[in-house]
């Protein structure tokens, strides 16, 4: 070409000067890419399949609240002896354990 010092066309495009076998392999490669691209566009997408998902939903708790018992220490008269107080405290301990078990059962029913 005129004005080019090495005689190559403008922009160094060498495809025109390539060997015939290279031209065929490059052309075949381009045709293959284009045909796969068009084949990919020709297939219809599959319809979306519904998926069942479990979602937690808040539900109000309807568990009955147990009544607070009359504890033994509350019934003691002021000025009771130490032995009566100890008996009442031991009895109250068992009352509280029973009451706590009822409360825990009510809370666990709501979870």
pLDDT at 22: 62
**Cα–Cα nearest to 85, from 98, 62, 45, 77:** 77
pLDDT at 67: 92
pLDDT at 12: 54
Asked if residue 102 is part of any domain, the answer here is yes
Residue 107 makes CB contacts below 8 A (sequence gap 6+) with: 63
Asked if residue 93 is part of any domain, the answer here is yes
- For the chain (111 residues), the mean pLDDT of every run of 10, in chain order, is 53 59 72 76 79 88 88 91 94 96 90 78
Asked if residue 21 is part of any domain, the answer here is yes
Asked if residue 84 is part of any domain, the answer here is yes
**Cα–Cα nearest to 91, from 68, 67, 71, 77:** 71
Asked if residue 90 is part of any domain, the answer here is yes
Asked if residue 49 is part of any domain, the answer here is no
Domain with 7, as residue range(s), is 1-43
How many distinct structural domains can be found in the chain? 2
């Amino acid at each position: 070409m005129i004005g080019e010092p090495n005689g190559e066309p403008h922009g160094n495009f060498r495809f025109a000067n390539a060997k015939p076998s290279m031209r065929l392999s490059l052309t075949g490669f381009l045709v293959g890419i284009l045909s796969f691209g068009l084949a990919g566009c020709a297939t219809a997408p599959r319809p979306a399949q519904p998926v069942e998902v479990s979602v937690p939903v808040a539900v109000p708790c309807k568990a009955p609240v147990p009544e607070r018992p009359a504890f033994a220490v509350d019934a003691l008269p002021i000025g009771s002896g130490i032995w009566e107080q100890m008996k009442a405290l031991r009895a109250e301990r068992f009352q509280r354990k029973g009451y706590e078990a009822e409360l825990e059962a009510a809370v666990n029913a709501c979870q």
